Amino acid sequence: MKNYEKPATAHAPLLGEPFEASLSLWGCVLGGLALCGFSILALRRCVANELEALVGITLAVLDLFLLCLLGVLARQVHLAVWNGKAIWRSRRLELVSHAVGLVVLVFGGWRLEIASVGLVDVLTGALLILGFYATILCLGCWSTLSRSRSQSGLPWVF
């Protein structure tokens, strides 16, 4: 499918792009905002000292930024797939990143369950694990976009 052709689908795309592209972007952005807000509220109630609060709030804000970046990159991947620029061969590392990310989540959750002693420890550890997971998925999306860009010779769709 060329960039200027409309796909032959039964549904009309939202704002000229596929629904999954908008869902990826706004799901990650709104999820990151909610996660950051609820984490900061929970940390305000439970911290024992200012260092715990600083580390927890920093991780919450970092996760917000990482989830926003993931939303933007996932939207770009969906648009590249929709425009026919990202074939399945170019998405291998993206799919591997999902598997690696799930291993990080499972192993990190298992270690967190064994090692944590309090609510602040659990929340801080969970925010750290989520940050690793989002970073791995961002790298996978970036690899797909860089491969699709190099194969098509066209700039990214922003």
Q: In total, how many domains does the chain have? A: 1
* Residue ranges making up the domain that contains 27: 19-152
Query: For the segment 94-151, what is each residue's pLDDT rounded down to a tens digit?
Result: 999 999 999 999 999 999 888 878 888 899 999 999 999 999 999 999 999 988 876 6
Which of 97, 93, 96 has the alpha carbon at shortest distance from 147?
93
Is residue 13 included in any domain, yes or no?
no
Query: For the segment 45-75, what is each residue's pLDDT rounded down to a tens digit?
Result: 888 899 999 999 999 999 999 999 999 999 9
| DSSP-derived secondary structure for 50-89 | HHHHHHHHHHHHHHHHHHHHHHHHHHHHHHHHHTT---GG
